[in-house]
Structure 1
């Protein structure tokens, strides 16, 4: 079976499973997000461990990212019928910082201590503390209507990546279009032409779907504001893609993992999402407070 067939077969199974988790209930949604954040942190720690000598941090990175994501869940409240506990986030962050610093002082050579600590702390902070904000785009209760904003980000990332890939591969360099490398030292195959095409398509997609998707946030989404949010999602998503590409190139890693058969790891498939979704939530919360 060729690679394309394997990719399509896996997608045909994985996409319905993910959609069921998002649709079914609070527990399945949070479990899905903890899985993605935890495995992503595992992959990050594995790549960082290739560059600096020290103890294996994969298990702690996974547990720390999940802990931070759950701290967002319980600090916001509403999930599982629990009231908000905003004080839970601070102690969780302090404990994780303390554990990482203690391990660094006890187990890591002084010549590598600071870069080791920064790179390994990056896993739970980026995937759990920052990426965990994405769970706040999810609502409580059965049904997709509670998760339209979350689904919109996922679909926008797919639209942007797909259009950028196909335009850059098949149109850039032909006819009136040139071929200009977007970030040659990080991802040589990406082009400005593909990036612009993906951005324009995403802006149009979000502009016309945002009013329904963001209705639960109590923000009146006009067409210009929807377009601006689309631009934000497209730019943040592509920045997240480049960030993870840089991490992989820095560590000499082709794919962050193999958990998604034929597709790579969490940081290969959700690199855009983990920067774009929290960014969108914070902007929506800003507009909500202005209303």
Structure 2
């Protein structure tokens, strides 16, 4: 079976499951986000372990990123019928940071201590502390209306990746389209043509649905056309930067796929690389728009 066929089959199975979990309740939403963060951090730690001598921290990374994502949910309040818990994110990270410092001092040789610590801490910092903010775009209750901003950025990065992949694979280099490498030292197969095509599709998608969703009251801020386009540009730029960041991590560690959770697609960091940078960025920009109002 070809890789493309595997990718399509996996997508047809995984996408309905993801949307069901997002629709069902805050328990299923937060559970999905915590699980994905934990697996993503596990994959990061596995790649980092290849480069520096030290203990296997995949279990610690899994637990740390899961805990930080859950802490963001608790800090917001409303989930699980609980009020907001103050300082829970900062206190959780301090505990995690102390544990990593202790492991580094006890188990890592001095020649590898600092690079090992920086790269291993990158998993909970990026996936949990930064990426975990995606739960702040969700609410409690059943229905998609409780997570429209989240779905918007998720579908936006999926669309950008899909259009860029198919355009770069089947159109770039043919007819009027050239084939110019986008980042040859990081991801040789990516092209400027695919990037531009994916960006145009994503900006149009995000701008249209952000404006429509805001009109229906699904956002906590009014969004005019200029703001909607700004959100679209942010999603496509941050998404592609996140994609390149994970590609650089894989190339640096000599890893083809970060994992094998999704057959034909790879692991969480292969599928959610764009999302983990774009979702928190979108949340912060929307929060900025809200404070301007």
TM-score of the aligned structures, taking structure 1 as reference length: 0.97
Alpha carbons 1:203, 1:227 under 8 Å: kept:
yes
SS in 1 for 2:87: helix
1:265 lines up with 2:267 in the alignment? yes
Q: Which residue of 2 aligns with 1:165?
A: 165
| Contact 2:213–2:219 (CA under 8 A) maintained in structure 1 | no
Specify the alignment match of 2:228 in structure 1: 226
Aligned partner of 1:277 in structure 2 is 279
Query: Which residue of structure 2 lines up, in the alignment, with residue 288 of structure 1?
Result: 290
2:20 corresponding residue in structure 1: 20
Show structure 1 runs of 5+ residues with no match.
Answer: none
Residues 64 and 177 from structure 1, CA distance in 2 versus in 1: closer, same or farther, beyond 3 angstroms? same
Whether the 8 Å CA contact 1:157–1:234 is kept in 2: the answer is yes
What is residue 250 of structure 1 aligned with on the other side?
A: 252
Say if 1:170 and 1:8 are closer, same or farther in 2 by CA, change over 3 A: closer
Q: Deviations over 1:19-40 (max 9, x none)?
A: 1110000110001001110000
Counterpart in 2 of 1:195? 195
Q: Verify the 8 A CA contact 1:217 1:288 in the aligned structure 2.
A: no
Q: Secondary structure at the match of 2:111?
A: coil
How is 1:52-201 mapped onto 2 (pairs within 5 angstroms)? Answer: 52-201=52-201
- Cα pair 1:152 1:213 within 8 Å, conserved: no
C-alpha change, 1:3 and 1:202, in structure 2 (3 Å) is: closer
Cα offset, 1:173, TM superposition = 1.9
Cα displacement (A) at 1:4: 3.7
Moved more, 261-270 or 171-180: 171-180
Q: How does 1:10-49 map to 2 (within 5 A)?
A: 10-49=10-49
Return the alpha-carbon distance in structure 1 between the equivalents of residues 262 and 200 of structure 2: 29
Cα deviation, residue 12, structure 1 = 2.3
| Contact kept? 1:160, 1:234, Cα under 8 Å | yes
Cα deviations by residue, 1:218-255 (Å, 9 ceiling, x for unpaired): 21111121111100000000000000000000000000
Q: Render the CA deviation track for 1:99-130: whole Å, top value 9, x for unaligned.
A: 00011011000000000000000001100000
Shift of 1:166: 1.6
Distance 1:25 1:64 in 2: 24
Deviations 1:185-211 (A, max 9, x none): 000011111111111111111111102
Instruction: Give SS of 2:83's match.
Output: coil
Distance 2:96 2:51 in 1: 22
CA shift for structure 1 position 175:
2.7
The verdict on how the C-alpha distance between 1:213 and 1:53 changes in structure 2, with shifts beyond 3 A counting, is farther
The whole-number CA distance in structure 2 between the counterparts of 1:289 and 1:72 is 20
Gaps of 5+ in 2: none
Q: Give the superposed CA RMSD.
A: 1.2
Deviations 1:56-111 (A, max 9, x none): 10000000001101110001111111111122112111111000001101100000
- Normalised by the length of structure 2, the TM-score is 0.96
